[in-house]
A and B are shown apart, each in its own frame.
Chain A
Amino acid sequence: MAEQQRRQRPAPKERVEETEELPASTERGEKLKGELDDLLDEIDEVLEENAEDFVKSYVQKGGE
């Protein structure tokens, strides 16, 4: 799977080769990052609790 390299900081365990960024895009990147963080915080609020049990209990009958 392709790594997403532009919007994100490199994940701790992964080396991303292209690390140079132009200053302007860093600024824009920070702003986007801030927006994304806010959005994730907002999503945290509505996420169902206990992910493992919740996902496990979602069982459907085949349809069509």
Chain B
Amino acid sequence: MAVPKVCGTETEYGVVLRGAPDPNPVLASSVLINSYVEQRKVGWDFDDESPGRDARGYAREGTQAPEIETHLVNTVLTNGARYYVDHAHPEYSTPECADALELVLADKAGERVLARSMQAASRVLEPGQSIVVYKNNSDGKGNSYGCHENYLVDRAVPFATLVRHLLPWFATRQVFTGAGKVGSENGAAPVPYQISQRADFFEEEVGLETTLKRPIVNTRDEPHADPQLYRRLHVIAGDANLCEVATFLKVGATAVILAMIEDDFIDAASGTRKEWSLAGPVAAMRTVSHDPTCRATIELADGSRMTAVELQWEFLRLAQKYADETGLAACGESVGDEVLSRWESVLSALERDPRSLDGQLDWVTKLGLLEAYLERDALSWDDPKLSLLDLQYHDVRPERSLYERLVRAGKVERLVDEADVRNAITEPPGSTRAYFRGTCLARWPESVVAANWDSLILDIGGDPLKRIPMMEPLRGTRAHVGPLFDTVNTPAELVARLTS
């Protein structure tokens, strides 16, 4: 049986410090996060981190837990998220969510956290200075930063099996995950506009790197859970989405694919292995991204050719069969059904007229805006104004974000209520261990010495610090520990009850 698809996103935001003579993005990111964290900061515990561990079964020479650089901010929020400086970007890792709809909410709450951070930072910066962040993946000059996804996956599935199915999956899902980009980068053929912000940056099929020679399938093996039972698939081949429909489908459909792989449904159902392998997955990433008509074909290993949408239909038909025969319990039963129905309507629309997805998918929505300007102002595609519109679409400040303008004009479909988003800025999802983490932080911020995905360290006074392992992502939920929290008043009582 497929394991529940506990999932999250990890978004690096573009960051600019304006008005400073020598702007330092690391400093700007630190100021941003520090300004937001009004309550006492809880440090991140790096004990279980090993980003050099490879899912193919070996550790890179010299790999060790990253050094804790004390000047780099690294904090945990009461909603269970991790908010920190990664390289030269503020990064927001959502709390673990139980399904794609919860993740849409958590991901959107992350945008609001960044918006509030900018406001908070404006109060501590020098007059005339401001920090601005963008939820995109490229500066248009060859520098890319990621929006990663993570999914809980059964350790029993051979990694090679995941790779085999995920290469065609990632290359073709771009038709709905793309955030749209003016131009091309990193040596890719020139195009006026392309579907994905990221496609130009993938150079390998499989690998451990995330910053150089980026692989389509990333092998980072940090389960942040019982390593005997689980992997945590780390996906780097996706765009940062603002459209909720795009995030929903990106995560929801990928979760369904992973569940099918775990249940050995794809191979067993159709013997499709041969037909679906791509002749050149890296080239296919670009081919798909560079064609906003969605008509370009990519070559399969058997020499035949299909469009990305046609290949997506194959995946969807299998997923529908899987839902009928097995159910979608691993993806949240009703949410899984919503994913399949949205997936079908989006593929139908892509086939008929991709422009009809204006307001659902980022790349189409942005393209609509750009073309409106092209026409009104009689611009050509190389006009810097179009690059500005592209960039400012992703501006996270509500008053400057062009995406937000389109939302306010009623041109973008939303899947979650803004009241729920506001709530998710401080409240953890109740469906995963994020509930335990977030609730401890909210109730006893002074006692939580450190936290990470799979443990929490409490100072309950007197005794040595208490480390509470949280190796099972679906324990520590509201249903599981809510009653316990109702009956304890101090962290010491909590520890006593947990260890009794």
B145 at the interface (CB under 8 A from A): yes
Shortest Cβ gap from A28 to chain B (Å): 15
A60 at the interface (CB under 8 A from B): yes
Contact of A11 among B211, B214, B378 (CB under 8 A): B378
Beyond A51-B387, A61-B87, A64-B211, whether A46 also contacts B409 by CB under 8 A is no
Contact assessment for A2 and B371 in the assembled complex, using a CB-CB cutoff below 8 Å? no
- A37-64 contact mask (Cβ, 8 Å, vs B): 1 or 0: 1011011001110011011111111111
Shortest Cβ gap from B259 to chain A (Å): 27
Complexed CA–CA distance, A54 and B140 (Å): 12
Contact assessment for A59 and B141 in the assembled complex, using a CB-CB cutoff below 8 Å? yes
Beyond A9-B375, A11-B374, A61-B25, whether A55 also contacts B87 by CB under 8 A is no
B399 at the interface (CB under 8 A from A): yes
Which of chain A's residues has its CB closest to B88's CB?
Answer: A61
Which of chain A's residues has its CB closest to B402's CB?
Answer: A43
Which residues of chain B are near A12, meaning CB under 8 Å? 378
B373 at the interface (CB under 8 A from A): yes
Shortest Cβ gap from B316 to chain A (Å): 23
Which of chain B's residues has its CB closest to A58's CB?
Answer: B139
- B12-31 contact mask (Cβ, 8 Å, vs A): 1 or 0: 10111000000001000000
Which residues of chain B are near A64, meaning CB under 8 Å? 12, 86-87, 144-146, 148, 210-211, 214, 236
Contact assessment for A59 and B139 in the assembled complex, using a CB-CB cutoff below 8 Å? yes
Contact assessment for B88 and A63 in the assembled complex, using a CB-CB cutoff below 8 Å? yes
Contact assessment for B375 and A8 in the assembled complex, using a CB-CB cutoff below 8 Å? yes
Which residues of chain B are near A57, meaning CB under 8 Å? 16
Beyond A40-B373, A64-B146, whether A46 also contacts B141 by CB under 8 A is no
Shortest Cβ gap from B299 to chain A (Å): 22
Contact assessment for B139 and A54 in the assembled complex, using a CB-CB cutoff below 8 Å? no
Complexed CA–CA distance, A37 and B377 (Å): 11
A1 at the interface (CB under 8 A from B): yes
Contact assessment for B372 and A36 in the assembled complex, using a CB-CB cutoff below 8 Å? yes
Determine the interface band of chain A, counting residues with CB < 8 A from chain B.
20 to 34
A19 at the interface (CB under 8 A from B): no
Contact assessment for A62 and B87 in the assembled complex, using a CB-CB cutoff below 8 Å? yes
Beyond A40-B372, A62-B144, A62-B145, whether A1 also contacts B293 by CB under 8 A is yes
Contact of B12 among A11, A56, A63 (CB under 8 A): A63
B123 at the interface (CB under 8 A from A): no
Complexed CA–CA distance, A8 and B367 (Å): 13
Which residues of chain B are near A4, meaning CB under 8 Å? 355, 368, 371
Complexed CA–CA distance, A33 and B384 (Å): 24
Complexed CA–CA distance, A1 and B296 (Å): 11
Contact assessment for A39 and B14 in the assembled complex, using a CB-CB cutoff below 8 Å? no
Contact assessment for B12 and A58 in the assembled complex, using a CB-CB cutoff below 8 Å? no
Contact assessment for A59 and B143 in the assembled complex, using a CB-CB cutoff below 8 Å? yes
Mark B residues whose CB is within 8 Å of A. 12, 14-16, 25, 86-89, 91, 134, 138-141, 143-146, 148, 192-193, 210-211, 214, 236, 292-293, 354-355, 368-369, 371-376, 378, 383-385, 387-389, 391-392, 399-400, 402, 405-406, 409, 411
The 8 closest A-B pairs by CB, nearest first: A63-B145, A64-B210, A61-B88, A51-B388, A52-B384, A60-B139, A51-B384, A63-B12
Other than the known A40-B376, A64-B214, what 8 A-B pairs have Cβ atoms closer than 8 Å?
A: A4-B355, A8-B375, A11-B375, A11-B378, A42-B409, A47-B385, A56-B384, A61-B89
